[in-house]
Amino acid sequence: METETHFLDMIESPKDLKVLNSQQLSLLANEIRNKIITTVAKTGGHLASSLGVVELSIALNYSFNLPKDKIVWDVGHQSYAHKLLTGRAKRFHTLRQHKGLSGFPKIYESEYDSFGTGHSSTAISAALGIAKARDLKQENYKVISVVGDGALTGGMAFEGLNNAGHLKSDLIVVLNDNRMSISQNIGALSSYLRKMITHPKYKETRKKIGSFLNKWSNKAAERAFALEDTLRAMSGPGLLFKEMGFRYFGPINGHDLQALTRVFNNIKDIKGPILVHIITKKGKGYAYAEEEVTKFHGISQFNIENGEKIKSSNQITYTGAFSNALVKMAREDKRVIAITAAMSAGTGLDRFSKEFPDRFFDVGIAEQHAVTFAAGLATQGFKPVVAMYSTFLQRAYDQIIHDVCLQNLPVTFAIDRAGIVGEDGPTHHGPFDLSFLRNIPNLTIMAPKDENELGHMLKTALELNSPAAIRYPRGIGAGVQIQNPYHTIEIGSSEILKEGKDILIIAAGPLSYLALEAAKELEKKGKSVCVINTRFIKPLDEKTISALAKKIGKIITIEENALEGGFGSAILELLEKNKIKAKVKRIGIPDEFIEHGPQELLRKNIGLTKSNILSAAKEILS
């Protein structure tokens, strides 16, 4: 009986691919898909995008000389197959697990990861930098950037394309077109020209013709090849890229391994910037992912047999509470607009989009545009709500300052995934928003302690005639009852959750409940603890906090934000401003990038637990 061959077990590095024939490479593609599906079903992760680039990953690792040649994967959530082909197959079961493989490329994880990515539209710029460094050092290797069509909705991708066309360094950009239909009809002429111009004999003939024409006139050669390039570009979607200084090849079936390897082998020695346009299908090879691409873009654990998520709790999340509140308020006020940047499902705006399609805008991966677009709407009397993850809001910092806050426009920022997000790791944690927002004039910043208070804060923000930000974490809420109707909260007012006289604990957001738990433990030890839910990070409740700080003199602040410039720093500034002498212990995220892993484990590792509050209390009372 013939034994089934497992080709993936044989792949320790890309060199091992080169001994396989085309049929064996196709079987390897099936194995890789199966490995990705079975692993992500257990670990969660980005499934659809990685399934769509299996053949591309094999072709790139087969055709180029890695790790000497460099590949930069845009965003990086499509790099799972690349990880399997570059010596990480035996550790792949640790994907997104604490101390295991990252869900994104990391230069510290493998020599085959040329650049760390996690945010979109950066790969062309990074790859161009690597290519120019190669030129300056007079070295010889290839640089390849792989970008999705979605990445081209981000302005930085076009900045990179524009500069690459100007610098004319050798650079290959692979455009993985899996959704936007840049070209629906590739046509026979385009297909013929593509085959012709990527064939070695074509390059040889072109060289000979060029030499012949140059004997008569340099301009004759230039005109002949300019005509050929123009015809090729006009026969497909390549005219834009040609105008930006790229030689265009495609579209190519991104699931045809032979076509991909042939094209890469034939173009890799062509000089200057090259763009290879491939057409792929997200979720390829797993029917449920093919049918529901958005659901399987980033998914938690799921059942392979039916594609259903394995739910851990039916309790409402902060995202869900925000979604419900915004929809209710939009029903009451037609001026409410919802805006996001390619994260409608993740921010809970998918429900809003169905009920109010005319008032919902997903601008693509264009965070800067989203914010200034909202600012424009605000000048005309609308109430735009910009919903983004904290990590992506960072990308629109200038627009928040210049286009919204400087003009004091009533834009509300709903900042999801603030603090520790978990398995996606340092590129997706949101520990910096309080620090980078707190110093902006005209901006009111709120942090709800639970899902009920989140709704009231949204109501408050929409009633303001000035910019406001509400930051809340990923995950389920506190399980409290939602109180309707929503009401506004007095700006800059805190909430005393517990009276006490020995220690003052001031908490930001959901950590208020952790502070209450610690207070109960301290009460058992005979200590009287006052707990404040600050509610407003800016402006602070200066009157209440100052009075209690003077009276008690021993303060613990707790926040799920970077300690540098965060909420605790704001309390220290308040004390300094009012010349209040007090012992202060701040608890928050340390000055380091936090690794990936379960949220609660990471919080324990960085000191955001009840025991850390108890230790701080012991220290401050000594």
Q: Is 301 exposed, middle or buried (0-12, 13-18, 19+ CB in 10 A)?
A: middle
Please identify which of the residues 33, 194, 383, 395 carries the catalytic annotation. 395
Please identify which of the residues 31, 367, 423, 559 carries the catalytic annotation. 367
Torsion over CA: 38, 41, 44, 50 (sign)? positive
Residue type, 578: N
Whole-angstrom distance, CA of residue 593 vs CA of residue 455: 31
CA distances from 142 to 116, 329, 437, 464, 586 (A): 18, 54, 41, 54, 49
| Contact call for residues 390 and 417 (beta carbons, < 8 A) | yes
Tokens of 553: 């003199």
Whole-angstrom distance, CA of residue 562 vs CA of residue 574: 18
Q: Is 367 a catalytic residue?
A: yes
Whole-angstrom distance, CA of residue 114 vs CA of residue 56: 17
Of 567, 497, 562, 507, give the one whose Cα is nearest residue 538. Answer: 567
Please identify which of the residues 134, 282, 459, 527 carries the catalytic annotation. 282
Total Cβ atoms within 10 A of residue 558: 25
Whole-angstrom distance, CA of residue 421 vs CA of residue 411: 25
Whole-angstrom distance, CA of residue 453 vs CA of residue 467: 19
Residues 6 or more apart in contact with residue 330 via CB below 8 angstroms? 336, 338, 352, 355, 356, 359
Q: Is 395 a catalytic residue?
A: yes
| Contact call for residues 308 and 296 (beta carbons, < 8 A) | no
Whole-angstrom distance, CA of residue 87 vs CA of residue 110: 9
Of 361, 364, 456, 472, give the one whose Cα is nearest residue 413. Answer: 472
List the Cα angle 326/533/543 in 5-degree steps: 110
Q: Which residues pair with 232 in a beta bridge?
A: none
Torsion over CA: 86, 89, 94, 100 (sign)? negative
Of 260, 261, 134, 267, give the one whose Cα is nearest residue 199. Answer: 267
Torsion over CA: 483, 488, 491, 493 (sign)? negative
Helix (H, G, I), strand (E, B) or coil at 556: strand
Token look-up 């997200």 returns: 282
Distance of CA 220 to the CA centre of its chain: 49
Tokens of 423: 């398995």
Residues 6 or more apart in contact with residue 590 via CB below 8 angstroms? 563, 606, 607
List the Cα angle 392/396/402 in 5-degree steps: 160
CA distances from 197 to 187, 236, 266, 565 (A): 16, 14, 9, 57
Whole-angstrom distance, CA of residue 585 vs CA of residue 588: 10
Q: Is 282 a catalytic residue?
A: yes
Whole-angstrom distance, CA of residue 200 vs CA of residue 197: 8
- Residues marked as catalytic: 282, 367, 395
